[in-house]
Structure 1
Protein backbone atom coordinates (compact mmCIF):
# COMPACT_ATOMS: atom_id res chain seq x y z
CA UNK A 1 0.00 0.00 0.00
CA UNK A 2 1.34 3.40 -1.00
CA UNK A 3 -0.32 5.74 1.51
CA UNK A 4 1.07 8.89 -0.05
CA UNK A 5 -0.09 7.93 -3.54
CA UNK A 6 -3.54 7.02 -2.20
CA UNK A 7 -3.86 10.33 -0.40
CA UNK A 8 -2.85 12.25 -3.51
CA UNK A 9 -5.44 10.42 -5.63
CA UNK A 10 -8.09 10.88 -2.93
CA UNK A 11 -7.49 14.63 -2.74
CA UNK A 12 -7.29 15.02 -6.52
CA UNK A 13 -10.66 13.30 -7.00
CA UNK A 14 -12.28 15.48 -4.36
CA UNK A 15 -10.88 18.66 -5.88
CA UNK A 16 -12.09 17.50 -9.31
CA UNK A 17 -15.65 18.05 -8.06
CA UNK A 18 -14.93 21.76 -7.47
CA UNK A 19 -17.46 21.63 -4.64
CA UNK A 20 -17.57 24.55 -2.24
CA UNK A 21 -15.87 23.69 1.05
CA UNK A 22 -13.82 20.75 -0.25
CA UNK A 23 -10.48 22.26 0.81
CA UNK A 24 -11.80 22.65 4.36
CA UNK A 25 -12.85 18.99 4.33
CA UNK A 26 -9.40 17.84 3.21
CA UNK A 27 -7.79 19.97 5.91
CA UNK A 28 -10.06 18.52 8.60
CA UNK A 29 -9.47 14.96 7.39
CA UNK A 30 -5.72 15.50 7.64
CA UNK A 31 -6.05 16.89 11.16
CA UNK A 32 -8.45 14.13 12.19
CA UNK A 33 -6.14 11.29 11.18
CA UNK A 34 -8.23 10.01 8.26
CA UNK A 35 -5.25 9.18 6.07
CA UNK A 36 -3.55 7.10 8.79
CA UNK A 37 -6.67 5.31 10.04
CA UNK A 38 -7.51 1.66 9.24
CA UNK A 39 -10.75 0.71 7.52
CA UNK A 40 -11.70 -1.69 10.32
CA UNK A 41 -10.41 -3.07 13.62
CA UNK A 42 -10.07 -6.68 12.54
CA UNK A 43 -11.48 -7.22 9.07
CA UNK A 44 -10.85 -5.55 5.71
CA UNK A 45 -7.81 -3.26 5.42
CA UNK A 46 -7.17 -3.11 9.17
CA UNK A 47 -3.81 -1.41 8.62
CA UNK A 48 -2.64 2.23 8.73
CA UNK A 49 -3.96 3.98 5.62
CA UNK A 50 -6.64 1.34 5.12
CA UNK A 51 -9.52 3.78 5.43
CA UNK A 52 -8.28 5.92 2.56
CA UNK A 53 -7.63 2.87 0.37
CA UNK A 54 -11.08 1.46 1.13
CA UNK A 55 -12.66 4.79 0.24
CA UNK A 56 -10.82 4.82 -3.08
CA UNK A 57 -11.93 1.25 -3.78
CA UNK A 58 -15.54 2.23 -3.13
CA UNK A 59 -15.14 5.23 -5.42
CA UNK A 60 -13.68 3.15 -8.25
CA UNK A 61 -16.46 0.57 -7.85
CA UNK A 62 -19.12 3.29 -7.71
CA UNK A 63 -17.95 4.94 -10.91
CA UNK A 64 -17.80 1.55 -12.66
CA UNK A 65 -21.36 0.72 -11.54
CA UNK A 66 -22.58 4.10 -12.73
CA UNK A 67 -20.99 3.66 -16.16
CA UNK A 68 -22.32 0.11 -16.49
CA UNK A 69 -25.84 1.05 -15.42
CA UNK A 70 -26.09 3.75 -18.09
CA UNK A 71 -26.74 1.01 -20.65
CA UNK A 72 -29.45 -0.58 -18.50
CA UNK A 73 -31.29 2.47 -17.21
CA UNK A 74 -30.06 5.66 -18.83
CA UNK A 75 -32.92 7.74 -17.39
CA UNK A 76 -32.15 6.89 -13.77
CA UNK A 77 -28.41 7.23 -14.23
CA UNK A 78 -28.97 10.60 -15.86
CA UNK A 79 -30.14 11.83 -12.46
CA UNK A 80 -26.80 10.90 -10.89
CA UNK A 81 -23.79 13.17 -11.31
CA UNK A 82 -20.21 11.93 -11.42
CA UNK A 83 -19.22 14.47 -8.77
CA UNK A 84 -21.91 13.11 -6.46
CA UNK A 85 -20.56 9.57 -6.77
CA UNK A 86 -17.04 10.81 -5.99
CA UNK A 87 -18.16 12.78 -2.94
CA UNK A 88 -20.48 10.14 -1.50
CA UNK A 89 -18.10 7.22 -1.98
CA UNK A 90 -14.89 8.89 -0.87
CA UNK A 91 -16.50 10.48 2.18
CA UNK A 92 -19.01 7.84 3.32
CA UNK A 93 -16.75 6.56 6.13
CA UNK A 94 -15.20 9.74 7.54
CA UNK A 95 -17.05 8.73 10.72
CA UNK A 96 -14.35 6.09 11.26
CA UNK A 97 -11.32 8.37 11.34
CA UNK A 98 -11.39 8.83 15.13
CA UNK A 99 -12.71 5.51 16.45
CA UNK A 100 -9.73 3.17 16.08
CA UNK A 101 -7.10 3.17 18.82
CA UNK A 102 -3.81 1.31 18.50
CA UNK A 103 -3.30 -1.58 20.91
CA UNK A 104 -1.58 -4.96 21.24
CA UNK A 105 -3.75 -8.05 20.86
CA UNK A 106 -3.21 -11.78 21.19
CA UNK A 107 -3.64 -13.87 18.05
CA UNK A 108 -2.72 -17.33 16.87
CA UNK A 109 0.07 -17.72 14.34
CA UNK A 110 0.16 -20.37 11.61
CA UNK A 111 1.50 -22.87 14.13
CA UNK A 112 -1.48 -22.34 16.40
CA UNK A 113 0.58 -20.51 19.01
CA UNK A 114 -0.60 -17.30 20.67
CA UNK A 115 1.54 -14.23 20.05
CA UNK A 116 1.38 -10.47 20.50
CA UNK A 117 0.29 -8.52 17.45
CA UNK A 118 -0.46 -4.86 16.82
CA UNK A 119 -4.11 -4.14 16.32
CA UNK A 120 -6.92 -1.74 17.11
CA UNK A 121 -9.62 -1.28 19.69
CA UNK A 122 -12.78 0.65 18.88
CA UNK A 123 -13.99 3.63 20.91
CA UNK A 124 -16.89 5.94 20.12
CA UNK A 125 -16.31 8.39 22.95
CA UNK A 126 -14.99 11.26 20.79
CA UNK A 127 -18.31 11.87 19.01
CA UNK A 128 -20.96 9.15 19.60
CA UNK A 129 -23.29 10.16 16.80
CA UNK A 130 -23.86 6.93 14.90
CA UNK A 131 -22.29 5.90 11.60
CA UNK A 132 -23.59 7.32 8.32
CA UNK A 133 -25.26 10.22 10.08
CA UNK A 134 -21.99 11.04 11.82
CA UNK A 135 -20.21 11.26 8.46
CA UNK A 136 -22.83 13.68 7.14
CA UNK A 137 -22.62 15.87 10.23
CA UNK A 138 -18.81 16.00 10.19
CA UNK A 139 -18.79 17.00 6.53
CA UNK A 140 -21.35 19.75 7.06
CA UNK A 141 -19.38 21.01 10.06
CA UNK A 142 -16.31 21.20 7.81
CA UNK A 143 -18.24 23.51 5.51
CA UNK A 144 -18.95 21.13 2.62
CA UNK A 145 -21.99 21.89 0.49
CA UNK A 146 -23.84 18.59 0.03
CA UNK A 147 -26.93 17.88 -2.06
CA UNK A 148 -29.85 15.91 -0.64
CA UNK A 149 -29.04 12.74 -2.58
CA UNK A 150 -25.41 12.87 -1.41
CA UNK A 151 -26.41 13.22 2.23
CA UNK A 152 -28.89 10.35 1.94
CA UNK A 153 -26.37 8.12 0.14
CA UNK A 154 -23.80 8.70 2.88
CA UNK A 155 -26.38 8.31 5.66
CA UNK A 156 -27.72 5.01 4.32
CA UNK A 157 -24.54 3.53 2.78
CA UNK A 158 -24.71 0.58 5.18
CA UNK A 159 -28.06 -0.43 3.72
CA UNK A 160 -30.25 -2.43 6.08
CA UNK A 161 -27.30 -2.85 8.46
CA UNK A 162 -27.71 0.83 9.33
CA UNK A 163 -31.40 0.46 10.18
CA UNK A 164 -33.06 0.48 13.57
CA UNK A 165 -35.78 -2.08 12.92
CA UNK A 166 -37.65 -0.87 16.00
CA UNK A 167 -38.10 2.48 14.26
CA UNK A 168 -40.89 2.73 11.70
CA UNK A 169 -39.54 6.16 10.75
CA UNK A 170 -36.07 4.73 10.04
CA UNK A 171 -37.50 2.06 7.76
CA UNK A 172 -39.66 4.54 5.85
CA UNK A 173 -36.79 7.03 5.45
CA UNK A 174 -34.45 4.29 4.22
CA UNK A 175 -36.95 2.90 1.71
CA UNK A 176 -37.84 6.39 0.48
CA UNK A 177 -34.20 7.43 0.05
CA UNK A 178 -33.43 4.31 -2.03
CA UNK A 179 -36.39 4.88 -4.32
CA UNK A 180 -36.02 8.62 -4.68
CA UNK A 181 -32.23 8.76 -5.07
CA UNK A 182 -30.46 6.18 -7.31
CA UNK A 183 -27.16 7.38 -5.81
CA UNK A 184 -28.06 5.53 -2.61
CA UNK A 185 -28.13 2.14 -4.31
CA UNK A 186 -24.90 2.84 -6.18
CA UNK A 187 -22.97 3.73 -3.02
CA UNK A 188 -24.38 0.76 -1.09
CA UNK A 189 -23.42 -1.65 -3.87
CA UNK A 190 -19.97 -0.12 -4.30
CA UNK A 191 -19.23 -0.34 -0.57
CA UNK A 192 -20.25 -4.00 -0.50
CA UNK A 193 -18.22 -4.89 -3.60
CA UNK A 194 -15.13 -3.15 -2.23
CA UNK A 195 -15.23 -4.92 1.13
CA UNK A 196 -16.38 -8.35 -0.07
CA UNK A 197 -14.42 -8.69 -3.33
CA UNK A 198 -11.73 -6.06 -3.96
CA UNK A 199 -10.34 -6.18 -0.43
CA UNK A 200 -10.75 -9.91 0.29
CA UNK A 201 -7.40 -11.66 0.74
CA UNK A 202 -6.31 -15.29 0.55
CA UNK A 203 -5.97 -15.22 4.34
CA UNK A 204 -9.59 -14.15 4.66
CA UNK A 205 -10.68 -17.10 2.52
CA UNK A 206 -8.50 -19.55 4.47
CA UNK A 207 -10.08 -18.41 7.73
CA UNK A 208 -13.63 -19.23 6.55
Structure 2
Protein backbone atom coordinates (compact mmCIF):
# COMPACT_ATOMS: atom_id res chain seq x y z
CA UNK A 1 0.00 0.00 0.00
CA UNK A 2 1.33 3.39 -1.00
CA UNK A 3 0.24 6.25 1.25
CA UNK A 4 0.43 9.91 0.27
CA UNK A 5 2.10 11.13 3.46
CA UNK A 6 2.21 14.78 2.40
CA UNK A 7 -1.48 14.92 1.50
CA UNK A 8 -2.50 13.21 4.75
CA UNK A 9 -0.27 15.48 6.79
CA UNK A 10 -1.87 18.55 5.24
CA UNK A 11 -5.37 17.24 6.02
CA UNK A 12 -4.33 16.27 9.56
CA UNK A 13 -2.80 19.69 10.28
CA UNK A 14 -5.78 21.53 8.79
CA UNK A 15 -8.17 19.62 11.05
CA UNK A 16 -6.05 20.29 14.12
CA UNK A 17 -5.82 24.00 13.35
CA UNK A 18 -9.60 24.18 12.88
CA UNK A 19 -9.96 23.62 16.63
CA UNK A 20 -8.08 26.88 17.34
CA UNK A 21 -6.85 25.29 20.56
CA UNK A 22 -4.07 26.92 22.56
CA UNK A 23 -0.78 25.12 21.98
CA UNK A 24 -1.78 23.29 18.80
CA UNK A 25 1.12 24.75 16.79
CA UNK A 26 3.57 23.36 19.34
CA UNK A 27 1.99 19.92 18.95
CA UNK A 28 2.24 20.06 15.16
CA UNK A 29 5.88 21.11 15.42
CA UNK A 30 6.73 18.25 17.81
CA UNK A 31 4.87 15.64 15.75
CA UNK A 32 6.73 16.67 12.63
CA UNK A 33 10.07 16.69 14.44
CA UNK A 34 9.47 13.26 16.01
CA UNK A 35 8.43 11.56 12.76
CA UNK A 36 4.71 11.06 13.44
CA UNK A 37 3.70 11.63 9.83
CA UNK A 38 6.02 8.91 8.49
CA UNK A 39 5.40 6.32 11.25
CA UNK A 40 3.34 3.13 10.73
CA UNK A 41 0.14 2.49 12.70
CA UNK A 42 1.40 -0.92 13.86
CA UNK A 43 4.28 -3.34 13.45
CA UNK A 44 2.34 -6.22 11.94
CA UNK A 45 -1.36 -5.41 11.82
CA UNK A 46 -3.38 -2.51 10.43
CA UNK A 47 -1.56 0.04 8.25
CA UNK A 48 1.90 -1.27 9.09
CA UNK A 49 3.47 0.94 6.42
CA UNK A 50 5.12 4.35 6.37
CA UNK A 51 2.48 7.01 6.93
CA UNK A 52 0.05 4.51 8.42
CA UNK A 53 -0.18 6.25 11.79
CA UNK A 54 -1.35 9.54 10.32
CA UNK A 55 -3.83 7.79 8.00
CA UNK A 56 -5.20 5.74 10.90
CA UNK A 57 -5.64 8.91 12.96
CA UNK A 58 -7.54 10.54 10.10
CA UNK A 59 -9.76 7.46 9.75
CA UNK A 60 -10.52 7.54 13.47
CA UNK A 61 -11.32 11.25 13.26
CA UNK A 62 -13.73 10.82 10.36
CA UNK A 63 -15.42 7.85 12.05
CA UNK A 64 -15.58 9.77 15.34
CA UNK A 65 -17.26 12.77 13.75
CA UNK A 66 -19.84 10.51 12.11
CA UNK A 67 -20.53 8.73 15.41
CA UNK A 68 -20.94 12.13 17.07
CA UNK A 69 -23.33 13.31 14.36
CA UNK A 70 -25.35 10.10 14.70
CA UNK A 71 -25.52 10.53 18.45
CA UNK A 72 -27.29 13.84 17.93
CA UNK A 73 -30.25 11.84 16.62
CA UNK A 74 -30.03 8.92 19.03
CA UNK A 75 -29.36 10.91 22.20
CA UNK A 76 -29.13 14.70 21.70
CA UNK A 77 -28.51 15.30 25.41
CA UNK A 78 -25.36 13.18 25.37
CA UNK A 79 -24.16 14.61 22.06
CA UNK A 80 -24.54 18.13 23.41
CA UNK A 81 -22.03 17.31 26.14
CA UNK A 82 -19.35 16.86 23.49
CA UNK A 83 -17.79 19.60 21.38
CA UNK A 84 -16.80 18.97 17.77
CA UNK A 85 -13.32 20.29 18.47
CA UNK A 86 -12.95 17.74 21.27
CA UNK A 87 -13.81 14.89 18.90
CA UNK A 88 -11.19 16.14 16.44
CA UNK A 89 -8.47 16.56 19.05
CA UNK A 90 -9.04 13.27 20.88
CA UNK A 91 -9.30 11.17 17.71
CA UNK A 92 -6.42 12.71 15.79
CA UNK A 93 -4.08 12.63 18.79
CA UNK A 94 -5.08 9.42 20.59
CA UNK A 95 -2.10 7.45 19.23
CA UNK A 96 0.75 9.97 19.32
CA UNK A 97 2.32 7.56 21.82
CA UNK A 98 3.26 5.37 18.83
CA UNK A 99 5.39 8.05 17.20
CA UNK A 100 8.73 6.79 18.53
CA UNK A 101 8.25 3.04 19.10
CA UNK A 102 8.58 1.57 15.60
CA UNK A 103 11.93 0.88 13.96
CA UNK A 104 12.52 -0.36 10.43
CA UNK A 105 13.79 -3.93 10.24
CA UNK A 106 13.85 -7.00 8.01
CA UNK A 107 11.49 -9.83 8.90
CA UNK A 108 10.99 -13.38 7.68
CA UNK A 109 7.63 -13.92 6.01
CA UNK A 110 6.04 -16.76 4.07
CA UNK A 111 5.14 -15.97 0.48
CA UNK A 112 2.17 -17.43 -1.43
CA UNK A 113 4.19 -20.57 -2.12
CA UNK A 114 4.77 -21.13 1.58
CA UNK A 115 8.45 -20.25 1.33
CA UNK A 116 10.17 -17.97 3.82
CA UNK A 117 11.59 -14.75 2.43
CA UNK A 118 13.03 -11.49 3.74
CA UNK A 119 10.64 -8.56 3.79
CA UNK A 120 10.89 -5.03 5.12
CA UNK A 121 8.87 -4.33 8.21
CA UNK A 122 8.94 -2.82 11.69
CA UNK A 123 9.99 -3.92 15.14
CA UNK A 124 8.75 -2.37 18.38
CA UNK A 125 10.97 -0.71 20.97
CA UNK A 126 9.61 0.99 24.10
CA UNK A 127 12.95 2.21 25.49
CA UNK A 128 12.54 5.91 24.75
CA UNK A 129 9.61 6.61 27.07
CA UNK A 130 7.99 3.45 28.55
CA UNK A 131 4.94 5.19 29.99
CA UNK A 132 2.18 2.94 28.66
CA UNK A 133 -0.19 3.70 25.82
CA UNK A 134 -3.08 6.14 26.27
CA UNK A 135 -1.44 7.78 29.26
CA UNK A 136 1.73 8.32 27.25
CA UNK A 137 -0.23 10.16 24.55
CA UNK A 138 -1.79 12.47 27.15
CA UNK A 139 1.56 13.25 28.74
CA UNK A 140 3.27 13.89 25.40
CA UNK A 141 0.54 16.33 24.39
CA UNK A 142 0.67 18.19 27.69
CA UNK A 143 4.45 18.41 27.45
CA UNK A 144 4.06 19.89 23.97
CA UNK A 145 1.96 22.66 25.52
CA UNK A 146 -1.53 21.64 24.39
CA UNK A 147 -4.48 22.85 26.48
CA UNK A 148 -6.59 19.68 26.92
CA UNK A 149 -9.98 19.47 28.60
CA UNK A 150 -10.66 16.73 31.15
CA UNK A 151 -12.93 14.69 28.86
CA UNK A 152 -10.33 14.87 26.07
CA UNK A 153 -7.61 13.54 28.35
CA UNK A 154 -9.88 10.75 29.58
CA UNK A 155 -10.95 9.80 26.06
CA UNK A 156 -7.33 9.54 24.94
CA UNK A 157 -6.28 7.69 28.10
CA UNK A 158 -9.01 5.05 27.80
CA UNK A 159 -9.37 4.79 24.01
CA UNK A 160 -8.18 1.16 24.08
CA UNK A 161 -11.19 0.16 26.17
CA UNK A 162 -10.75 -3.08 28.10
CA UNK A 163 -7.39 -3.65 26.36
CA UNK A 164 -6.02 -0.66 28.26
CA UNK A 165 -7.08 -1.87 31.68
CA UNK A 166 -5.00 -3.78 34.20
CA UNK A 167 -7.64 -6.39 35.10
CA UNK A 168 -5.83 -7.03 38.39
CA UNK A 169 -6.40 -3.41 39.36
CA UNK A 170 -9.76 -2.52 40.91
CA UNK A 171 -8.80 1.14 40.60
CA UNK A 172 -8.18 0.84 36.85
CA UNK A 173 -11.53 -0.85 36.34
CA UNK A 174 -13.42 1.75 38.36
CA UNK A 175 -11.65 4.67 36.67
CA UNK A 176 -12.40 3.27 33.23
CA UNK A 177 -16.08 2.63 34.01
CA UNK A 178 -16.47 6.06 35.59
CA UNK A 179 -14.77 7.86 32.70
CA UNK A 180 -17.05 6.17 30.16
CA UNK A 181 -20.19 6.81 32.18
CA UNK A 182 -19.53 10.48 32.78
CA UNK A 183 -17.94 11.39 29.45
CA UNK A 184 -19.63 10.42 26.16
CA UNK A 185 -16.44 11.46 24.34
CA UNK A 186 -14.72 8.35 25.75
CA UNK A 187 -17.18 6.02 24.02
CA UNK A 188 -17.09 8.05 20.80
CA UNK A 189 -13.30 7.81 20.50
CA UNK A 190 -13.18 4.15 21.52
CA UNK A 191 -15.89 3.26 18.99
CA UNK A 192 -14.24 5.26 16.22
CA UNK A 193 -10.88 3.60 16.86
CA UNK A 194 -12.49 0.18 16.53
CA UNK A 195 -14.34 1.13 13.34
CA UNK A 196 -11.13 2.39 11.76
CA UNK A 197 -8.85 -0.51 12.72
CA UNK A 198 -11.31 -3.41 12.37
CA UNK A 199 -13.37 -2.25 9.39
CA UNK A 200 -11.88 0.63 7.38
CA UNK A 201 -8.31 -0.66 7.52
CA UNK A 202 -8.89 -4.41 7.28
CA UNK A 203 -7.64 -5.86 4.00
CA UNK A 204 -8.42 -9.10 2.17
CA UNK A 205 -4.96 -10.32 3.20
CA UNK A 206 -5.80 -9.71 6.85
CA UNK A 207 -8.92 -11.84 6.47
CA UNK A 208 -6.98 -14.64 4.75
CA UNK A 209 -4.46 -14.70 7.60
CA UNK A 210 -7.07 -15.10 10.36
TM-score normalized by the length of structure 1: 0.99
Which of 46, 67, 75 aligns to 1:44? It is: 46
Shift of residue 18, structure 1, vs aligned partner: 0.1
2: distance between equivalents of 1:102 and 1:172?
38
Q: Is structure 2 residue 57 aligned with structure 1 residue 32?
A: no
CA offsets per residue over residues 178-204 of structure 1, 9 Å max, x none? 001000000000000000000000111
Tell me what 1:9 maps to. Answer: 11
2: distance between equivalents of 1:141 and 1:156?
19
Q: Is structure 2 residue 137 aligned with structure 1 residue 135?
A: yes
Tell me what 1:180 maps to. Answer: 182
CA offsets per residue over residues 130-184 of structure 1, 9 Å max, x none? 0000000000000000000000000000001000011111111100000010000
How many pairs align? 208
Which of 156, 164, 167 aligns to 1:165? It is: 167
SS at match of 2:44: coil
- Where do 1:59-208 residues align within 5 Å? 59-208=61-210
Unmatched runs of 5 consecutive residues or more in structure 1: none
Unmatched runs of 5 consecutive residues or more in structure 2: none
2: distance between equivalents of 1:207 and 1:131?
26
SS at match of 1:70: helix
2: distance between equivalents of 1:205 and 1:167?
34
TM-score normalized by the length of structure 2: 0.98
1: distance between equivalents of 2:118 and 2:29?
35
2: distance between equivalents of 1:176 and 1:4?
39
SS at match of 1:115: strand
1: distance between equivalents of 2:116 and 2:163?
33
RMSD over aligned Cα atoms:
0.5
